[in-house]
């Protein structure tokens, strides 16, 4: 079942009222899933039901994407306030945050700017440290990485890319190409797991290695035979690594 949330009128400057779509499963400690560019909650289809056996799992559709596509232009500067308002409305004081690609960048910003709201952090092929122009061109398509993705997921990925708000895609892409985010890394205090696809042709493994070096106490796990979407390419291994991290960083 898809859900929508109407934020209260007491919002931060620049954050317009919106109806963020999300999917919720399970019960227990909350986990928040943030998807990547031109994606949706559906990219967690191999993970959310598994996590929901032990946790309350929320998969948001970011503004301009998925079932939130009608909300218009995505703005990276508004992403963290929007997520915080969403959490407040659902009375989620603190959550484990898992972010993929663009969602990974948002997760980093959230953990750095609002540390009391992030219990644990999982970054999945996070779009960090700004792209060089050549990498930016590759980021406009997932063609090279699809060889590692099970064919049954490709129609869903293509559909989400096509139904995303075009202005949201172009604006988010521009912001990804120009946002470094390096200054936020030293401010992260939450236990952090970094997961990377071995053959990521969009955000290379070297970026994951830099993140591991700059986030104090973080762990880096490389998923073999996967690319930019290890949660879809190798879901069993991905889920095992996330569960291992969650169970070894128990809340006290």
Q: Hey, CA dihedral for 158, 43, 148, 198, is it positive or negative? A: positive
Stretch (H or E) spanning 232: helix 230-233
Measure the CA–CA gap between 140 and 127, rounded to whole angstroms.
Answer: 13
Q: Which of 92-106, 170-184, 206-220 has the lowest mean pLDDT?
A: 170-184
3-class secondary-structure state, position 135: helix
In the DSSP assignment, the letter for residue 48 is H
Residue 141: its H or E element:
none
Number of domains in the chain: 1
pLDDT tens-place string over residues 36-86 = 988 999 999 999 999 999 999 999 999 888 898 888 778 888 899 999 999
At how many degrees (to 10) do helices 76-89 and 102-113 cross?
70
Q: Domain range spanning residue 77?
A: 3-248
CATH code where residue 183 lies: 3.40.50.1820
Q: Cα separations (Å) of 224 from 97, 144, 195?
A: 23, 16, 11
- CB proximity list for 141: less than 8 A, separation 6 or greater: none
User: Taking CA 82 as the corner, what is the angle to CA 81 and CA 87, rounded to the nearest 5 degrees?
Assistant: 95
Lowest-pLDDT range of 49-63, 130-144, 158-172, 191-205: 130-144
Query: CA–CA separation, 195 vs 7, rounded Å?
Result: 32
Rounded to two decimals, the pTM is 0.87
């Amino acid at each position: 079942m898809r859900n929508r949330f109407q934020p209260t009128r007491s919002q931060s400057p620049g954050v317009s009222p919106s109806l963020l779509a999300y999917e919720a499963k399970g019960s227990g400690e909350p986990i928040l899933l943030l998807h990547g560019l031109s994606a949706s909650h559906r990219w967690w289809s191999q993970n959310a039901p598994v996590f929901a056996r032990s946790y309350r799992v929320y998969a948001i559709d970011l503004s301009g994407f998925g079932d939130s596509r009608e909300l218009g232009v995505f703005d990276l500067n508004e992403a963290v306030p929007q997520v915080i308002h969403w959490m407040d409305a659902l009375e989620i004081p603190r959550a484990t945050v898992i972010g993929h690609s663009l969602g990974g960048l948002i997760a980093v910003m959230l953990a750095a700017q609002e540390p009391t709201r992030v219990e644990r952090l999982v970054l999945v092929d996070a779009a960090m440290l700004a792209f060089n122009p050549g990498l930016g061109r590759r980021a406009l398509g997932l063609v090279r990485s699809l060889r590692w993705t099970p064919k049954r997921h490709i129609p869903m990925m293509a559909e989400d890319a096509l139904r995303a708000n075009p202005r949201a895609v172009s604006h988010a892409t521009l912001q990804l190409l120009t946002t470094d985010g390096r200054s936020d890394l030293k401010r992260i205090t939450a236990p952090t797991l970094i997961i990377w696809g071995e053959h990521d042709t969009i955000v290379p493994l070297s970026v994951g290695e830099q993140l591991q070096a700059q986030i104090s106490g973080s762990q880096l796990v490389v998923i073999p035979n996967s690319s930019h979407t290890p949660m879809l390419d190798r879901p069993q291994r991905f889920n095992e690594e996330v569960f291992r991290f969650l169970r070894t960083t128990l809340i006290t």
